[in-house]
Amino acid sequence: MAEISLKNVKKSYTKQLQVIHGVNVDIADGEFIVIVGPSGCGKSTLLRMIAGLETISEGEIAIAGKVVNRVEPKDRNIAMVFQNYALYPHMTVYENMSYGLRIRRMPPAEINERVQRAAKILELGSFLDRKPRALSGGQRQRVAMGRAIVREPAAFLFDEPLSNLDAKLRVQMRLEIQKLHRELKTTSIFVTHDQVEAMTLADRMIVMNLGVVEQIGRPIDVYDDPASLFVAGFIGSPAMNFMAGRRVGEAVEVGEGVSVPLPAALREMAGDGVTVGVRPEHLVIAGGSGPTLSLKVDTVEALGADSLLHCKLGPHALVVRVDGHETPEPGSPLAVSAMPGKTYFFDTASGKRL
């Protein structure tokens, strides 16, 4: 159990190639942090720096109050779960889980006790004598987690542990990780590119893009209150609708004769180029307050419980989420309005929220 703090952490491979541009975050003891972002955003690199597998070019990483910049991975008291599991293929499940403890010369009786306990939590009891190749993907993933659990480390680091599993198993393992964290309450850092995993698992999430932290916050806060165009577009599925427009007086003109009034509080800050964003689930078939948008339904994705309508508004493509039983025909017109307070305004040039 430990808190982890990152102070202005940077990573560069050469003078020109900097991949992480100063990350600051304090992770509380027992917190479940998810680092989420598209591939190449530096999230795995950041995790590997915490693990000690990558050197830290600048800044400080402290685990349990102790700066670990120059500490070997084995002495950082962390355990890591890898994307491809990284189980030792020639060892049985039991040997895999106990390897780290055997190296640390723990008495065999205690090793056995810890492994048996972890095996019970993960329901691996009947597989302890098997080699990894005789296990399914989900079971291997559980062994990898077991190897982390038996160490009883200060923190778990997960590097996209679910992306090699099929969709159904991924949901199941996600729930198991959640349950595990509730039971063990160990500080965890979980890297993923899947915003659903981030939303469901995180106490707080760190949204990264191009080596920069875009936003840190509780999932629901990030969803409700995105700090930038990138976060707004990345978190939430289907993605937020954006309409790039021009500021005209006290409104934003997003197309021929279509304008969205700018809230009074934002008029001061708004520049010339303003992008209006609204989530598919916040567009309701007309009747609500605010301006009505006249759309034309292009295609329909019927998902059962609800339907996604892909619509056209002048040059913009918008997605509207409606109840599955009220699905209009493709080609028909549709009048929608945004729920009050659910329209977001961004500065087009900087991408920052107004």
Partner 1 sequence: MVENRPWFDFLAHAILILGVILVAFPLYVTFVASTLTYEEIVNVPMPLVPGDQLVKNYSQVLTSGSERGSAAPVGTMLFNSLVMALGVAIGKIVISILSAFAIVYFRFPLRNFFFWMIFVTLMLPIEVRIIPTFKVASDLGLLDSYAGLILPVVASATATFLFRQFFLTIPDELAEAARIDGAGPMRFFWDVVLPLSKTSMAALFVILFIVGWNEYLWPLLITSQESMYTVVIGIKRMIAGGDASNEWNLIMATAMLALLPPALVVITMQKWFVKGLVETEK
Q: How far is the CB of 74 from partner 1 (least distance, A)?
A: 4
The answer for 60, left when phi > 0, alpha when psi is -120 to 50, beta otherwise, is beta
How long a stretch of residues is the chain?
354
Is residue 13 involved in binding partner 1 (CB under 8 A)? no
Is residue 103 involved in binding partner 1 (CB under 8 A)? yes
Of 55, 84, 237, 332, the one binding partner 1 (CB under 8 A) is 84
Whole-angstrom distance, CA of residue 209 vs CA of residue 228: 11
Which CB sits closer to partner 1, 103 or 265? 103
Please say whether the beta carbons of 122 and 149 come within 8 A: yes
Q: Name residues contacting partner 1, limited to 222-251 (CB under 8 A).
A: none
**Going along the chain, which residue ranges are E strands?**
4-12, 18-27, 32-36, 58-63, 66-67, 78-81, 155-159, 187-192, 204-209, 212-217, 241-248, 251-255, 258-261, 273-278, 283-285, 292-302, 306-313, 316-323, 333-338, 343-347
Is residue 218 involved in binding partner 1 (CB under 8 A)? no
Q: How far is the CB of 55 from partner 1 (least distance, A)?
A: 11
Whole-angstrom distance, CA of residue 9 vs CA of residue 64: 17
Of 82, 137, 176, 300, the one binding partner 1 (CB under 8 A) is 82
Whole-angstrom distance, CA of residue 76 vs CA of residue 51: 7
Which CB sits closer to partner 1, 52 or 280? 52
Q: Angle, to 10 degrees, between the axis of helix 137-150 and the axis of helix 93-103?
A: 20
Largest CA-CA distance found in the chain, in angstroms, rounded: 77
Q: How far is the CB of 78 from partner 1 (least distance, A)?
A: 7
Which CB sits closer to partner 1, 79 or 295? 79
Is residue 104 involved in binding partner 1 (CB under 8 A)? yes
| Count of residues touching partner 1 (by CB under 8 A) | 23
Of 79, 201, 293, 354, the one binding partner 1 (CB under 8 A) is 79
Q: Name residues contacting partner 1, limited to 122-161 (CB under 8 A).
A: 133, 147
Whole-angstrom distance, CA of residue 258 vs CA of residue 124: 60
Write each residue from 334 to 353 as x if it is in contact with partner 1 (CB under 8 A), else as -, in one continuous string.
--------------------
CA distances from 172 to 13, 37, 167, 257 (A): 38, 22, 9, 49
Q: Which of 278, 206, 292, 202 is nearest to 239 (CA)?
A: 278
Is residue 20 involved in binding partner 1 (CB under 8 A)? no
Write each residue from 40 to 69 as x if it is in contact with partner 1 (CB under 8 A), else as -, in one continuous string.
-----------xxx----------------
Which CB sits closer to partner 1, 41 or 80? 80
Which CB sits closer to partner 1, 35 or 232? 35
Which CB sits closer to partner 1, 133 or 168? 133
Residues that bind partner 1 (CB under 8 A): 51-53, 72-74, 78-80, 82-84, 86-90, 99-100, 103-104, 133, 147
